Amino acid sequence: MTGEPRQSQSDTLLLSFSAEIALAQTRPTLMVLLRNQLKAMFGFSHCSILLVEEGNMKCRPFLPGSAETKSFDPFESLICRDNDLNNSPITKAIQTVEPLFIEVNDAINSIKRVAIFPFVEKESLLGAISFFSKTPDVFDRQKMSLITGVVKLISIAVSHVLTIEESEKREKEKSALLELSKDMATINNKSDLSVVISTKLRNLLSSFGFVIGLIDENTSTHYAYIIDQEEFANQFPDFEIVKTQRYPIKDGYFNRVLASEEPVKFSLDNISAQSDVPAYITFWRSMGFTYTMGIKLRAANEDIGVLWLYSEKPVNLSLLKGVCAQISIAISNILSNDDIQRREREKSILLTFSNDIAKVRSKTDLAVAINRTLKGLSLIKIYILRIIDEDGITTTTYIYDPNDSFVTDPDFQPLRNGKYAIKDGLHDRLLASQEPLLIKVKEIMKRKDIPIYAQFWNKLGIDTILGSALRSGDTNIGFIWAMPDQVNMAMFKALCAQISIAISNIVANERIEHQLTEISNYKQRLEEENFYLQEEITGANNNSEIIGAGAEMQKVFHMMSQVAFTNSTVLLLGETGTGKELVARAIHNNSPRKDKLMVKINCAALPANLIESELFGHERGSFTGAFDRRVGKFELAHKGTLFLDEIGEMPLELQVKLLRALQEREIERVGGKTTIKVDVRIIAATNRKLLKEVAAGRFRSDLYYRLNVFPITLPPLRNRKEDISVLTSHFIGKYSRNAGKKVNNISHYALEGLLAYSWPGNIRELEHLVERSVLLTNGGTIKDMHLPVAENEDTADILKDSYVKTIDENERDHILEVLKKCKGKVSGSHGAAALLGVPVSTLNSKMKKLDIEKGRSFHADKGGDHGNVTDDS
């Protein structure tokens, strides 16, 4: 009976405890409840709860003994030292998940026995509750059963408190991140960002120092973007180096942080003993920090940098990740704004410079534009431009600022006037690069073959030189060397492109007069070529082929085939109308020069004073009426063929100049001062017997032998009558088409007349006769050819009467007839001069010209008297 009231009382206490513990939401409330009510129920002197850290053998007190130190209370130290579960009494209870009783002898607190009860929550080990007793028999069997039930309630209550704390913690973090986000939204520059991180973030993450390192645009290096407490850090000697230096991404530390999704912690004490440690790591160690933590910064799915934290206290990693996300967004916005402002500034600079360049007409204008933009905006300090010479292997000084101090240096004058090879190890490096290059002068000075201008840079104390090739399209035109004030490679490249355009414009302006003159010459030449091309087309239509199947023409064809593919001079001989021009064109069209012009000049059709101008051209103002420069036929036929028709009619004084042009392969315009090289193949033609002309002194022998390299004699039509029928048919077809008639045949009677005719005019006469006959014919057959002589005359009479003598031949025959009458006597009252009514000197001159020799004997018309040409009266 005595046990029933106790059991009832215990149940009442347990029920009351269960109701109260369900309301406990904080650690102190829960521990007060445990230490008051449970102590009254079970009679222990003290109780404590240790929470196990998941994943390791560490524990922490549920309610620390001291709010300041957050350390273990004295009772907890009996079962666990320094929160390490290894070799502690609590380890066995936690591992077996069974109550554990241990005997202790704590003289200070008089503790004799400790009962350890582990508890779990949702199959996860949560921790353990320990009951400390001053008497060994406080935990009897009846109490143990009750305590086991209480422990389950305690584990639920502890889990509930921890859940509430985690929820409050997350809400606090969300609130903090929200406040930080609002602050970040107002940030416009990195100075504002530094202030927010130093104030707001320091309150959230406790005391710390920080550095933000960003990845360079080249993605291979990183640099310090923001340094916390810069005024303090500036007191250390290496601060400026650490602040301005670029470090490789793969330095063993920065890249490790980028590769991790979680913060990475480094012990500065351990790192300092290693080799090849980046300067920024060793610098923080010199400032007194013992460890650093790196968290990568990421925006728009790209790594942008690392946040380095230096703190001696634990950091809320969850909150830190959220903070880094906010910082990343803020930095991304700042960089974007900076980039926009930079681009706007660059656009403004480029627009201004472009407007200046558009006005450039001289080197002086270009120097002014460069000084105003590149030097005026502090992009460069000094500069010099060099252009590539026409030889393509050297460079010459083009532009520099005459106001720069280095201009007065004695060593500069030789440099300014000197030429330097492109392949010198520096200029060719610029040509091989599509981007400007930043070159260390000290590195150049380590070479064996140091360019003189690089030695000059070193003398001036220049550490770094900026160079770029200047290009117009794909053409390299020069170089620019500059001492940079601030390095902006993209901007410098764009400005160099503008400078290249300006140089191209200057060169164009400097050459414009020369080009205008050349354009005028080319225009004239094109007009001349057009004329000859039209003539070629007309000639091709009129003479699509050389017609002839007889033995005489076969010889001609053979000789043409032998000489066509060479560059040898050809001399075409034959009577008028035998087709010499047609043969010349055929030789040209089958030669390697067929794609160039065949230029024709008729030496008999031009006055003697104009032939030289036609052949060699003339300069403006070289003679009266020479209003423009004229390109001669030799220049026009360059790389082609020059056809000199009627070469036998060329005056003696011009033959000398022609001979020189053929021998030297160069000409000189009338009124010109320079010689012009020409590459011309000569085809000459004449109907005269040049050897007789040479003998008579009317044609130079040296020119004859120069032209008579490969003579081809064209037979007269009367010697190739077998071709008359074919030629006639060809001309009938041609002129019937031209006349729009359907004439396609010739009668046997008319053909016989053609075969009987002597053809003093050769093929040309036949062609014109057929053309006239086609026009006079009404039917489809030519019945009568309308020959120029009566049909009843025999062939001998036709040949005799149809031949027309020249004026010289008639004059010579007349003088000879008179000399015969005068028995060779020239002067005197009965001499030939008196009879002809001309002075003796005039008659002697005529006789010399017509090759009538003195001393020649004449036979009288009647009688047997003989006489010699004599001046005796």
Question: Residue 58: its pLDDT value, please?
Answer: 72
pTM check: above 0.75: no
> What are the DSSP E strand ranges found in 134-268?
209-215, 221-227, 247-248, 264-267
CA 236 vs CA 182, 231, 376, 750, 796: distances in Å: 35, 10, 35, 123, 128
d(CA 380, CA 219): 26
Helix (H, G, I), strand (E, B) or coil at 477: strand
Alpha helices in 618-671 (DSSP H): 633-636, 652-664
Total H helices, total E strands in the chain? 34, 30
Judge whether 386 and 398 are in contact, CB under 8 Å.
yes
DSSP run (H or E) holding 478: strand 475-484
Residue 601 pairs with which residues in a beta bridge? 644
Helix (H, G, I), strand (E, B) or coil at 76: helix
Q: Which two tokens stand for residue 33?
A: 């409840």
Question: Closest by alpha carbon to 228, among 266, 187, 197, 268?
Answer: 197
Question: Residue 203: its pLDDT value, please?
Answer: 65
d(CA 253, CA 266): 9
pLDDT under 50: residue ranges of the chain: 1-3, 66-70, 537-544, 790-793, 795-796, 798-802, 860-866, 873
Segment 224-265, tens digit of pLDDT: 888 877 666 777 777 777 788 888 998 888 999 999 988 888
Judge whether 297 and 269 are in contact, CB under 8 Å.
no
Residue 476 pairs with which residues in a beta bridge? 471
Question: Residue 306: its pLDDT value, please?
Answer: 92
Question: Residue 642: its pLDDT value, please?
Answer: 92
Question: Residue 791: its pLDDT value, please?
Answer: 43
- How many CB atoms are located within 10 Å of the residue 382 CB? 20
Query: What are the b/e assignments for 789-806, b being 16+ CB within 10 Å?
Result: eeeeeeeeebbeebeeee
CA 146 vs CA 43, 130, 358: distances in Å: 13, 15, 99
Judge whether 91 and 127 are in contact, CB under 8 Å.
no
Question: Residue 863: its pLDDT value, please?
Answer: 41
Location of structure tokens 């550095």: 211
Judge whether 825 and 831 are in contact, CB under 8 Å.
yes
Judge whether 277 and 271 are in contact, CB under 8 Å.
yes
Are β-strands 681-686 and 570-573 bridged in parallel, bridged antiparallel, or unpaired?
Answer: parallel
The domains of the chain, with CATH numbers, are: 3-169 (3.30.450.40), 186-341 (3.30.450.40), 359-510 (3.30.450.40), 517-713 (3.40.50.300), 717-793 (1.10.8.60), 807-868 (no CATH)
Question: Residue 682: its pLDDT value, please?
Answer: 93
Question: Residue 201: its pLDDT value, please?
Answer: 67
For the chain, report the end-to-end CA distance as a whole number of angstroms: 204
Question: Residue 684: its pLDDT value, please?
Answer: 94
Question: Residue 258: its pLDDT value, please?
Answer: 92
CA 166 to centroid of chain Cα atoms: 62
Question: Closest by alpha carbon to 481, among 424, 545, 556?
Answer: 424
d(CA 355, CA 353): 5
Q: What is the dihedral of CA 349, 355, 360, 363, to 10 degrees?
A: 0
> What are the DSSP E strand ranges found in 107-217?
111-121, 124-133, 209-215
Question: Residue 568: its pLDDT value, please?
Answer: 92
- How many CB atoms are located within 10 Å of the residue 653 CB? 10
d(CA 660, CA 656): 6
Q: Which two tokens stand for residue 872?
A: 């005796």
Question: Residue 50: its pLDDT value, please?
Answer: 83
User: Which residues fall within 8 angstroms of residue 310, CB to CB, at 6 or more apart?
Assistant: 208, 209, 210, 211, 284, 287, 289, 291, 292, 293
